Amino acid sequence: MDNQLIKTAMHDACIRAVTEISADVKGLVQAALDRETNDTAKSMLSSMLDNLDIAKAQDKAVCQSPGYPTTWISYGDGNFPSYAHDVICEALGEATTKGYLRPSIVDPLTRHNPGNNTGEGVPNIEYQYHPGQEYVDFIISFKGCGAELGNAMKIFTTANLKLNQDFAGLKRFVLETAINAGGKPCPPFGIGIGIGGQMDVASKLSREAISTRKWDDTNPDPLLARLEDELRDNINSLGLGAAGTGGDTVCLAVKIGRAATHTAIAPVAINFHCWVARRAGIRIYNDGRIEKLL
């Protein structure tokens, strides 16, 4: 594969991701506005949509925060993208230099800022191997970090998860977390929930679920699909509303990822994503063709 071609495609994906939000999420915000009955919430949602139009027209960032960049890369036999880290770092640096991204990535302790939105462990890249896959998929997500302040993680036992009461323990945990978060995650938000593995696995699942899936899709697992819809509707019934000022819609979507775990535990991670769902994806075939995914 041509590294320069890939670099250009990744750079373009970075710019696309931060100057607009995913079409599925924009559609959900518009639908929330169409059914909203609270005047304050209507004003908030209308301003959000206006912001998207202005950002696109003026080729500006949708949000002043660059978010935290995570990239998911899936590959097959013989096409592992060993170049990916360097290419993504260069793309982030260029996007920052051109003013599309505010330099906000710092050392967690010294708070040193290298000025290019990279650093130890950043960009975060999650590699996924799929035997026989004749292409490489890149999905990059810039997740706002104000929303992180509402996140929660808990190691349940099967008893306090209340499996025999239709997962009452899980549902209570999600609702309490949404109440405690209030307006911090810039609602209307999406929520990713990771269930299973150990603490690290559940957390990664929660981020992947809300950052790579379309928010208007349906989970192919009937149990998870039911839980996603029920939790979303229950959160909306709290009346927190857009920007946390009251209204009919505070949660646009709930997405759940699941992994096997040890019989003694049931880890659950809850990951908020603000309405500014900045993600972009490309598919690079082994013959060099490039296709837009998201």
Q: What is the pLDDT of residues 192-219, one digit of tens each?
A: 999 999 999 999 999 999 999 999 999 9
Residue type, 81: P
Residue type, 147: A
Residue ranges of domains in the chain: 3-21+62-144+277-292, 146-273
Q: 128 phi and psi, to 5 degrees? A: -135, 120
151-176 tens-digit pLDDT = 999 999 999 988 889 999 999 999 99
Q: Which CATH class is domain 3-21+62-144+277-292?
A: alpha beta
The candidate with the shortest Cα–Cα distance to 170, out of 186, 184, 154, 183, is 154
CB 138 within 8 A of CB 71: yes
Q: What is the pTM of this model?
A: 0.95
Residue 10: pLDDT band with limits 50, 70, 90: confident
Q: What is the mean pLDDT of the chain?
A: 94
| Strands of the sheet with 189-197, listed across from one edge | 152-156, 266-273, 189-197, 251-261
What pLDDT score does 1 carry? 60
Of residues 288 and 41, more confidence is placed in 41
What pLDDT score does 184 carry? 94
